[in-house]
Amino acid sequence: MTMFFKKYTDLKLILIIVIVQLTLNLYDVFQRSFITKRGVLKLNYDLQGEEIFGKLAEFIGVIIYMVIVSVIVNFFIKKRTSIWIVSIFHLIIPITLPQFTWTIYHIPEIIREKSLKSLEFTDFYISRYVLHIKYYYTLYFLILGIIYLYFYFKKIQENKIQTARLQAQLSDTKLKFLQSQIHPHFLFNTLNSVYSLMDIDSSKSKDMVISLSDLLRNVLDKKDQNLIEFQEELFILKKYIHINEMRFSDNLKFHINIETGLDNILIPNMLIQPIVENAIKHGYSEEHIILEVFVNIYKKLDTLFIIIENNGKKLDSNLSSLLKKGHGLSNIKDRLQTLYEENHQFEMFNKNNHVVTSITFPVQLSISKIENDL
């Protein structure tokens, strides 16, 4: 029995029951005092001696009784008890509420006389029972309604928490799947760059292998992280740029313009490198044999702006069409959507003979930065 009550007792609900019953008793005291003082009705009610003890006994009795009922209601809800059983229970059980409160009232007398004589069903006892049963039924269903409202709102809150947890788990699973797509893609393309340089300049290819080794070590260390600090993403970007500068030599130039103070901002892992890779891959053409890539990253208010431009081949379709052509851009779009929902922008367009990729999303500081500030 102890385990049963421990399992199904809700302390917050007990506090609510106490507050409700206390409020009802205080209102009753005020109502009777007000009517008596105004002389509208003559009530035998002086709040002294036995009257005070009676009110206190009723107060305690109703609280204990309704706490027991709340435990049973919680049990009914958890066990999905039939509506018929629950209904019959709540129609019958209030009959015992007056008897329960009166038993508490007579406890001192029962202890003193060591007898239950005071609880015998005399004509006076039965008459009093019939007179007050309507009041106790009303009181019972009033507090019962509050109990069910409490469990209803508690269930809604639990469902919200569970839904949020499931969404977080789903988002994490989706992000890990997207990460698993982009890392092999990156590795293949970078190794292809090393291979293409081997027959042209073995010295540069060795240097490229060393850079690739540093790059891959960093990338693989972060492969299970959805968000990393900007300084870590910048390290990946710089290594990737160095590899491609060796590969394309004078035919590829980078212009990096990054605002200071962004090191500890969290950004999606492997976000910038695929965009730069896309600019190189699709920027070169027969008319564009010398390619310039401009990387501009800055913060305005609480938003991070990543703007990457190239002077290469112009876009021949809009972003929606480009997303359908391969995994790279669609992967970025999906990750941004999963992480930031509608609080981001991802655009690609032609502007002033440049192809522009623009990404914005809310600034989020890493825990290490917050701890240092504190």
In the chain the domains, ranked by start, together with CATH numbers, are 2-120 (no CATH), 172-373 (3.30.565.10)
Cα–Cα separations (whole angstroms), residue 80 to 73, 153, 286, 361: 10, 17, 72, 45
The helix-helix angle for 50-78 and 123-198 (nearest 10°) equals 40
Q: Which two tokens stand for residue 271?
A: 């976000």
Average pLDDT, integer, range 199-205: 71
Q: Could you tell me which residue, 201 or 247, shows the higher pLDDT?
A: 247
Out of 9-13, 202-206, 276-280, pick the least confident.
Answer: 202-206
The pLDDT of residue 296: 96
Query: What are 57-79's pLDDT values in tens digits?
Result: 888 888 999 999 999 998 898 88
| pLDDT tens profile 338-349 | 888 888 999 999
pLDDT band at 113 (very low <50, low <70, confident <90, very high): low
> What's the pLDDT at 234?
92
Beta bridge partners of 229: 266
Cα torsion angle, 15, 17, 22, 27, sign:
positive
Which residue would you say has higher pLDDT here, 356 or 371? 356
- Report the alpha-carbon distance of residue 48 to residue 33 in Å, rounded: 12
How far is Cα 22 from Cα 249, in angstroms, rounded to an integer? 84
Token couple for 108: 């001192």
Q: What is the mean pLDDT of the chain?
A: 80
**pLDDT score, position 346:** 93
- φ, ψ of residue 212 to 5 degrees: the values are -65, -40
Kindly tell me if the per-residue pLDDT of 25 is higher than 50: yes
Calpha distance 81→75 (Å, rounded): 8
Q: Do residues 244 and 193 make contact, with C-beta atoms less than 8 angstroms apart?
A: yes
Tell me: pLDDT of 333 over 70: yes
Return the amino acid letter for 86. Answer: V
- pLDDT for the residue numbered 374: 47
Residue 108, pLDDT > 90, answer no
Please give the pLDDT value at position 127.
78
Tokens of 316: 């021949």
Q: CA 300 from chain center: how many Å?
A: 27
Q: With beta carbons less than 8 A apart as the criterion, state whether 194 and 207 touch.
A: no
pLDDT, position 31? 73
Question: How far apart (Å, rounded) are the C-alpha atoms in residues 46 and 51?
Answer: 7
Which secondary structure element, helix H or strand E, spans residue 357, and what is its range?
strand 354-362
CA–CA separation, 69 vs 139, rounded Å?
13
Find how far residue 68's CA is from the centre of its chain: 33
What Cα–Cα distance (Å) separates residue 203 from each residue in 115, 209, 246, 251, 358? 106, 10, 10, 19, 37
Predicted local distance difference test score (pLDDT) of residue 135: 85
For the cut 50, the answer to whether the pLDDT of residue 148 exceeds it is yes
Residue 300 scores a pLDDT above 50: yes
Number of residues in the chain: 374
More confident residue, 136 or 286: 136
230-247: per-residue pLDDT in tens? 999 898 888 888 888 877
Phi, psi of 236 (to 5 degrees): -60, -45
Report residue 106: phi and psi, to 5°: -90, 5
pLDDT beyond 70 at 50: no
Alpha helices in the chain (DSSP H): 2-8, 11-38, 50-78, 83-92, 97-105, 107-113, 123-198, 202-221, 230-248, 272-283, 319-323, 327-340, 367-373
Ordered DSSP codes for 36-97: HHHTSS-------THHHHHHHHHHHHHHHHHHHHHHHHHHHHHTT--HHHHHHHHHHGGGGH
Q: How sure is the predictor about 111, in pLDDT bands with cuts at 50, 70 and 90?
A: low
Share of the chain above pLDDT 70, in %: 77
pLDDT band per the 50, 70, 90 thresholds, residue 119 = low
The pLDDT, as a whole number, for residue 84 is 92
What's the pLDDT at 370?
Answer: 46
Which amino acid type is present at position 89?
F
What is the pLDDT at residue 273?
85
Give the mean pLDDT of 316-336: 77
